[in-house]
Structures are given as structure tokens and as C-alpha cells.
Amino acid sequence: MVTSNDKPKDGSEEPRPASPRGRQASRQAPQPVEPRPRRYMVAALPQSQPAAPGAAAPALDGDTVRRLLEDDPEVRVLRRLRGTAGNPGAQAPGFPAVVVAEMTAEHVEALRRQYPQLYFERDRLLTYSDVPRPPRRRRPAPAVVPPGVESTFAFLVRDADGTPLPGASVLVTGHGWPAQTSTGADGRAVVTMVGETPESISGVTVRPRSGYWSVHIDRPALSTTRDNLIEPMRLSETFDGFPGKQVFGWGQQAMNLDRLPPTLRGAGVRIAVVDSGADLRHPDLRDRVRAGIDLVSGEPDGWSVDAAYHGSHCAAVVSGADDGHGVVGFAVEAEVHACKIFPGGRFSDLIEALDYCVEQRIDVVNLSLASRHHSPLVAAKIEQAREAGVACVVAAGNDGGPVGFPGTLPGVLTVAAVGKADAFPPGSSHEAEIRGPMTGDGYFSPRFTCHGPEIDVCAPGVAVLSAVPPDGYAALDGTSMAAPHVAGLAALVLAHHGDFRGPYSARDARRVDHLFHIIRSSCVPLNLGDLHRTGAGMPNALRALAPALAQITPEPVEADALLGQLTAEMTGAGLLVPETWGPGESGRAGQGGQPGLGAPSGMAPQPGMAPQGAYGGGTTPNGPVPGGLVARGPRGRATAAGRVPAADQGDTSGGSGTGPKRRGTPAGRPYAPGPGGGRAPDGAAGDGPTGGPRTANGTPVTGAGQAAYEQAAMAWLREEMRAAGLLGEDPAGPAE
């Protein structure tokens, strides 16, 4: 049966049948439960590629295949995907018309024998590449659960103020199978575990829908006679003023997005997020996602609804609005399309979504999805998209095993996940993902990330803060969250790197391959003991966009304002040591008025982080700085002891920058002890010491008055630009 909402998108494609994925089936009379038929993609093989060599079988076209299957009483035809011609001058051949149909495996074998010129492939389900629950020790579940043994646990999930949290996911794990439910309007949920006792429960995980950190408790002491109270912590307790104040996520800082000039915004590039849709009710997505396609229910605007929350989260990482509130994406002026294939997305849906991307001249596609099975038809479609200049950035997968498909393909950029230990509070489910070894900066490869030689790069994928429907925010884990970081950076490179306005401007495979080469070459290696978990390392936005940065001409400003900003930057970077402060000034302080001044930051190579060889080892008045960049932390966040955490000092791969900023502030990371350097808000003038400029070791700068400030400021600026590769080496300078 075809409904009015299942109209074909053009004359060459068949209507999609009504699907239980898109609408709730009405309650009917009971019937016996039987195995579901399997879904297949059927296509005619090219004449030069017969299934049985030497077999005298006539060639079949798409229409003939469709009629043949429609006339078969043991086959239920669902829809037909139109064929496409190969790209002019491309190596990839055209793509055949595909019929999607349901039938039994036995009937498929009979058809293969009868029609050797037909190709059959399972139309398998795809999975999200996020982490639904924290890993646990793999125990074989008992084959037989003892009858009559069960435990019922009631949970009450509310915040510290007593407000119940409806819709929170509650997962209970024991010796046998786990049980999962969600809280009702009163914040309560009940779970019955067959074959378990309170002492056999190994863990409880609670993940609120939005606004709160998750909670994970190992070996919980649960009661079967009263409510078990769980009180998650608000995100705003970690990110001061959030979401009223816009913040950069820790991953964006790690990739140096917050150090880019605000003029690099990705305008002119088209990005597609193939996922569960993008909810346009959210302020960070409302004016950012412009178009899309709904391959779940066929609704004209169905792509703008996201019941799974997954696609909205990914879309905001890529291109969340730069409006001073909530989060901000990488490419805030790129044109974003949402291709909705979840829930229930299959290989055939992915093929159809990629057809849309080619037709719409999409530049970058984010694929936060995976399968444990290879699909030759999907592989052929991805290669055809590559030949058309469409770059696919793919999540590696989250079951902790080998890389999933399509991340195994050579023509995509496959992204693994990394985490940072000070990016989330203790007791959260993110903490359960920590796996050794760990770098001195706290970077680690999480347990869930898939690994293998196919990994190209790694990116932040633990406790990634982004938007979820209808207007909230959540911190999620997964290579699904890592891939959008790289897709967003890819959009910036395409928009602003000069190579894509010159020798690589044509939409072809060379363009895609060069884009991936630039991203891999920009990476800062992470020493986590296994290159198959990190690939080339974490991409660095400053490296990837170095040619674009070299061409930026600063706007004319008043000399005094520039001097004041440079002095504040030098002090924040540890290049000047404040001596005394003027009347009414309390020095740089962490938020809440706590003192924030600490030891100079970023002055030594970071443990576990390789030097940024693309820039060479820069030298500053304080000595060598990894990558030649003065690492400077974001504005400080006071701890209970009145100190700014060491995590806020910046590092080789992250930290806020000395250049112009986009709106918002870097998100503080208050979970790592130790001193750190704060920064005057927005680099404002007037916070400098009144006793004259000094170098980092306290030696006064020679000269008098304004000239001394200018001398120190200009020398520092030259070193920063030289270290970043924007100026040539100074033959009179110190040896590198």
C-alpha cells in the first residue's frame, strides 16, 4: 500500500511503501510471531561481468529486473533506486538500477540459479556510531536463567533541587543480560532483572536527555524495597553561564578552532549530515540547516525532525550557530543539508542519500554510521561520489573491535575517537571509557573506539557537548561525535585553502584526495601506544589553514589599543611577568573573582604529544615551544582552592589563541588540579602591570615608555608569526 506521504521524489524512482519506521502501527488482533523476511538489493550485472562465465544468459536492464520480481509471488518489491551514469572522465563506472525487495534466503538461491545475470546483496541495517552504554567486562551470559529468581529495582532520577528528570535512560547490568528503560514524567523508572540479585548487579548508568551529565556507578548498592535515588549534575555547574554564554567545546580547543580568525567561517561550502535528521526547533540549528531529504517516512520536511537526537548533535558540531549562546560549530556559514535515514537506516537508504549529495553538489558528507558487513553496492556508490568531488568523512565504529564499514574503504577519511580526562566530571559514564595509556595532557583512546590500519585520524569523541532537540544540550560519546569535528574542519579547508581555488578547484577525485592529504598532514601525533587507534593523530586547524592565515591582513586599529592587547597577550602567554597592578585592579582572576595567575603555560613539550613538525620547532623568549606556537590557556575557571586548573593552560593541540576570536569562550575544564594562566577577557587592554614590561624571567625590557612596550610586543608578535610559518626565519635569531 502506498500512502500520500510516499510520493516519489522524481519520475525515475518508485514510491516508498508505508514503513513502520515512520509511523506507529495501529493495534490489531494478535497473530503468531514468525521470522521476518530478509531484505535484498537486486541489480542486473553488466554484460562484461556475467555471474557464471560461459553461461548463455540474456542481458537484463533495470525495468526488466523490476517486472521479473514484481511478477514473482514469493517476492515483495519495496522500491527501486534509479541507476546513474558514470562521471565524465572518471574511472568509476555507472551505477546500476537497484530493486529493493523482501524474500526468503532459499528463494534468493533459486533465483540466482535461474538468473545468473542478476546480483543479490543483503540490504542490511546500519547502526549509529555513538555509545549507547559504557563497556563492561565481557562475560558469557548464562544459557539458562534460573527460574523464579528475579529482582525489581525502582529508580528516582532528579536534580539536586528535587526536579524530576523525565526521559532519562536507565541501564542496569548484571551477570546476565542488561536491562534498559527510561524515566516517566515523575522521574521514576522500574527495572526487573531475571536471574539477578542486588549483589550481582555490576553497574548502573543514567543518561538524562539533555542539560545534565550522565552518571555511572560501579557495583551499586541497590535496594529492592525503596527508590534508588540518582542525582545527575547540571552542565551549567561545569560551564559557567551555559547555555546563556556560548562556549567552545574541549574538542574544538584541542583542534585549535578557537584560535582561528573569525573571518574563516566556511561560506560557500556545502555539508551533508547523513543521520537521523536535524531538529530546526533548536536555536543552534534553526538558521544553519537549509535543506535535506527524509528517507524514513518520505515527508517533505521530515528531515527537520530528529526523534533520535543523534543527527542534531552531529550537525551542531559541524555548523552550530555563532550567536553568542550555547555551542558554536566549525563552519558556521557553510550550507548544511540533513539526509535522514535513521531510525532503521539500511544500505539502500545510504545509497539514496549519496545520490542526493551528488545531485546537490555537496562538498563534504558526514557519515556517523557503521556496519559489521561489507556492501559492494555501497562501496561503488561512495567511489562514484568521490569521483564527483564529494568527500566522505566516516566514523570508525564503537564496538571496540576492527573498523566498521564503510570506514574500511580506501576512498573515505576514517575517524577514531579520543578523549581527555579533564573534560568531564568524576562519576560520569565518560569516565568508564578511559583506557590506558594516557598522555601527560590527559588524552586517551577510549575503550569503545574501533581500531585498525584503516584509521586515518583521530578526533575528540568523549564528552562532546552539542545540541539536542528541542532546545537542549548533551555531552555524548562515540566516533559519531569525532567525525563531525573532522568534517567541519574539512569544510573550512575547502572554503579557505588556496589550493581549492586553483589546481584542485575541479570537482573530482583529485580534489577529495588532496583535501584528505591536507587534513592528515595537519595532524599532531598522539602517543597512545597504538597507531591503529589514532592514525596520523589529531588534525590541527592552524596547520591545515596556514596558507589562508598567511594571507589575512589585519584591520587598521589604534596603536594604543593594539599595544594594550599585545601586552595582555604576552602576559597571558607568560612572556611578561606582571609586577604591580593599577588602582582598582586585582589581576587576572579565574571566574568568580578567584586569583587565576599561575606558572607560564605551554613552555615545555607536552608529554605524549609529538612536536608539530610542519611548522618546525619555534623559539620564543621562553625557549622552545612545541610546534612553534605559544600555547596559552583559555580564560580560567576557579577551583575550590581558588586556582585555575592546569588543563586551562593550553597545550600543543589546543588552547585558546592569540588571534581574533569567534564569539564565545573556551569551555573551562575544572577537573584537573594545578595552577594555570588565565587571560583578560577578550584580550582587553588595561590589565597590564604598571611597572613596565618584563620578559618571562623578570628582566625589565630595555627602553623607556611606550617604545619599550612596542619593542617587546612587536618582538613577541614576530616570533609568534615565524613559529606559525607566517614569516621566514630570522637569521639573527636564536638557533632552532
Catalytic positions are 275, 310, 480
- Rg of the chain's alpha carbons, rounded to an integer? 28
Helix/strand/coil percentages in the chain, nearest 5: 25, 20, 55
Residue type, 44: A
CA–CA separation, 717 and 713 (whole Å):
6
Q: What are the start-end ranges of the H helices in 608-691? A: none
CA–CA separation, 418 and 525 (whole Å):
12
Q: What is the dihedral of CA 231, 232, 236, 239, to 10 degrees?
A: 130
169: enclosing H helix or E strand: strand 169-173
CB within 8 Å of 451: residues ≥ 6 apart = 396, 401, 402, 403, 416, 445, 530, 532, 533
On whether the CB atoms of residues 28 and 20 are closer than 8 A, the answer is no
Q: How many CB atoms lie within 10 A of CB 33?
A: 6
CA–CA separation, 646 and 633 (whole Å):
9
Q: How many CA atoms lie within 13 A of 311 on its CB side?
A: 31
DSSP 44-83: EPPTTS-SSTT-------HHHHHHHHHT-TT-EEEEEEPP
Pairing of strands 289-294, 335-340: parallel
> CA 266: distance to chain centroid?
17
